[in-house]
Amino acid sequence: MMNTIKHKLAGLKSELAYRVALSNHAPNLPILEEKYARIVKTLRTEGACLTSLEELELASSDDLLRASEQYLATMTAPQLNGAGYKLPQIYTVTQIPEFSRWANEQRLINIIENYIGLPVAFQGVHLRKDFPNENQFGTSLWHKDSEDRRIIKAFVYLHDVETEHGPFEYVPRNLTKLYNLNYYKTYYQLWRSGYLGIEDKTLDSIIPKNAWKSCPGQAGTIVLADTKAILHHGTARSLERSALFCVYTANPPKNPQDCTQYWDDTFAKPKQIELAETIR
């Protein structure tokens, strides 16, 4: 009983310190151009926002795409898990300059800092290829992430992503906000699953499918999403999907132990290669 009380008091103290830090940092947030301020506003209301490499106009985008193309070409054939599903192939590429340089571009960091409300920590980036699968498993189940109180993940599509490629899909945050009955219903289902995720048919019984938001897009589309605030997943696919997953939290995050996968040896780290110039 005493340990429970101490744990709750420690949690309240942590949350109070977090709120004070948000208030103290607010005057120091970077000033954004109107078109980038709109991205932050959409994140606050929706929980996700679509933008693009073209709109962000980051200097290192060409190098990013060139590196992505050439490292994707080195990925091996998909492995099957015990249930016969094709597992995604994931490279941790945080250590490779072409990826980390783009992810730390000041304009992008400024947008994310305005949303998170505190100095930003870039946790890392995964280069990921997902394969055709009809059944839901892993990140194709509806879930929320746990690295921090606010998380931004930037999903960069490396080719045109249509319905058959399994685009990112989410539930707008107002449909599961605190004190909304859906909040408790969905958290109960997450708890029942051991926080592995919720199947489509279960979520549809709580939040109708016509309220879900799918995010298809052309190559270069970027989905910015607070993956702590919104239920999200990658949909079932009949064609491969390749994308970058860049991850940002406050510095420091609430749960640093959940961030190590973006730079440690959880996933393969490709050997750095000398990139050939792309002929256009």
Q: How far apart (Å, rounded) are the C-alpha atoms in residues 44 and 260?
A: 26
Residue 155's H or E segment, with its range, is strand 152-157
Give this prediction's pTM: 0.94
Distance CA 88, CA 51 (A): 25
Whether residue 37 contacts residue 213, with contact meaning beta carbons closer than 8 Å, is answered with no
Phi/psi at 48 (nearest 5 deg)? -155, 155
Strand partners, 124: 247
Which neighbouring-strand residues pair with 241? 130
Whole-angstrom distance, CA of residue 37 vs CA of residue 183: 28
Q: Cα separation of 124 and 207, whole Å?
A: 32
The tens place of each residue's pLDDT in the chain, 280 residues long, gives: 667 777 677 778 999 999 999 999 999 999 999 999 999 999 999 999 999 999 999 999 999 999 999 999 999 877 777 666 888 999 999 999 999 999 999 999 999 999 999 999 999 999 999 999 888 999 999 999 999 999 999 999 999 999 999 999 999 999 999 889 999 999 999 999 999 999 999 999 999 999 999 999 999 999 999 999 999 999 999 999 999 999 999 999 999 999 999 999 999 999 887 776 644 3
What fold does the segment set 33-262 form as a domain?
Jelly Rolls (2.60.120)
Separation in Å, CA 10 to CA 3, 147, 178, 258: 10, 18, 21, 20
Residue with tokens 């985008």: 61
Question: Which token pair is 132?
Answer: 């055709």
